[in-house]
Each structure stands twice: as structure tokens, then as C-alpha cells.
Amino acid sequence: MENPIVFQGSEKARRIQAMFAGIAPTYDQLNHWLSLSIDKRWRRAAVREVADALTRPDAKALDVCCGTADLALELGRLAPTVGVDFCQPMLARGMEKVRRSGRPVRLLAGDALALPFADASFDVVTVAFGIRNVVDLDGALSEMRRTLKPGGKVVILEFSHPVVPGLKQLFGFYFARILPRIGNAVSRSGYAYSYLPASVQHFPDQATLAAQMEKAGFRDVTWRNLSGGIAALHTGARAALSDV
């Protein structure tokens, strides 16, 4: 099927989209195998960070780069949630899971760099393991802030840079040497699971990402490491109207 999404990006964005289309059939299974299912705990931790912002009866959440909808489905336990992704095969798998769950989750095709929503639409905006893949990090942060209501909360769950000596070397070996072999073989992708550690290496570290969130206009930016910094949870807020 011809992709209906108009990209802000480029050839690079198309390559990312094609890569995820190729690994969509094995994406969930490999996530859980390769992380020993720790990824599920990380997503639940992300949802806990924003749960208080989803208690109002009319609260709504947006999950950007939702992929196969694992985080959107966790958010859907608390409030109606929309997930957006630019890769149809990832969305198709997510839609099947949403249908089985019966939770109030809707998935849409869309580009993180041109989110198809009006300003100030959501109480919570999240992204898990997605923003690293968007070709323009500042552009994605700006779109997330634009669609967040004043006073709303943002959470970014992403692979990061381990901070615990020993773990750094051990995980570095696993991530760079073992994971790509298993991932590329099982998914039959020539490169997706080699791209993964390379993309994390080039992604800003914890403090730098926090600074970029502040530059994008988020307030109260803070972060905490998960599993010794293998992943990190960054949170922030859009200033409330009373603060501006």
C-alpha cells in the first residue's frame, strides 16, 4: 500500500519507516526476548509518571511513535488514548491488539514531525523508544509540546547511556555484539538490530536530552535512570496558563 503520510523528513525517514515495516512481524516477540521482558516494566514505569494527570474524567493521552501500541494500551487502562505512527505494518499489529483489549485506544497513521492534532489537545503526551528514530529530535519535541495542554505532562522513555561501572561494559558487549546477531537473524533484517545500538550511541545522554526538552519549552524537566541507565525516563510539563 502506498504510504499516505506526507513526510517532513526525507529519504532517511523513509528508510526508518521501511526498516520498521520489515521487522513488524517479530517486533513484539524480540522486544520481550531480548530484554527478558524488562521492557514491559519500563513502559509501566512511564505510565506511573503521568497517571496523576489522567485522573480527570475528560483526560486524554497521546502516544507518539506508538508502533504496536504497547504503551498506548497501558495508557488506555487510565484514559482514552490516541497512538500515532508512520509505519502501517506496525500500526496493523497494534490495531489487532487494541481490538482484543477492548480498551479506549485509537491508532492513527501520522508523522511525529507534523502531528495531526490541534494545539493543546492532550493532558499527557508520551513516546517510548520512538523519538531516537525521528530524524529531527527538536522538531518532534516541539510537536509534542504544541499538542500538550497547558499544565499537561510529557514523558519520554528511551534507551540511554548506562551509568553503573561494570554494567556499562557488560551491557555494551551484549547490546553491540549479541543482540544484533539474534535480532537480525530472527527478524530476517540485515541491519535493524545493528542500527539499534548505533542509534542509541548517537542519541543524547540523559542530561543532554533534558536540556533539549527545556530548550523546546518544557518546564520542570527531570529524569531518572531505569536499570542503571540502560533506559531513562524523562518527564516535563507544559507551563500552566497561570504561569505564563
Ligand X SMILES: C[S@@+](CC[C@H](N)C(=O)[O-])C[C@H]1O[C@@H](n2cnc3c(N)ncnc32)[C@H](O)[C@@H]1O
Strands in 134-227 per DSSP E: 148-159, 219-226
Query: Which amino acid would we find at residue 152?
Result: G
- Contacting ligand X (CB under 6 A), which of 50, 86, 206, 230? 86
Which residue stretch of 106-114, 147-155, 197-205, 235-243 sits at the interface with ligand X (rule: CB under 6 A)?
106-114
Measured CA to CA, the distance from residue 162 to residue 175 in angstroms comes to: 11
Told to check if 231 binds ligand X by CB under 6 A, we report: no
Does position 226 interact with ligand X (CB under 6 A)? The reply is no
* C-alpha cell read off for 226: 531505569
Using the rule CB under 6 A, is 232 a contact of ligand X? no
Q: Provide the 10 A C-beta neighbour count for residue 81.
A: 29
Q: Dump the DSSP string for 109-146.
A: E-BTTB-SS-TT-EEEEEEES-GGGSS-HHHHHHHHHH
Among residues 87, 124, 154, 231, which is the contact residue for ligand X, using CB under 6 A?
87
**Distance from the Cα of residue 48 to its chain's centroid:** 15
Work out whether 98 is an interface residue with ligand X (CB under 6 A).
no
Q: Which residue type sits at 10?
A: S
Give least dist CB 181 to ligand X, A. 19
> CB of 165: closest distance to ligand X in angstroms?
28
Task: Give 21 or 164: the residue with its C-beta nearer to ligand X.
Answer: 21
Give, rounded to a whole angstrom, the gap between the first and last alpha carbons of the chain. 45
Q: According to the binding rule CB under 6 A, does residue 133 interact with ligand X? A: yes
Of the candidate residues 49, 70, 74, 123, the single one contacting ligand X (CB under 6 A) = 70
Taking the complex as a whole, how short is the minimal distance between the CB of residue 3 and ligand X, in angstroms? Answer: 11
Residues interacting with ligand X, by CB under 6 A?
Answer: 13, 16-17, 20, 65-67, 70-71, 85-87, 90, 111-113, 128-130, 133-134
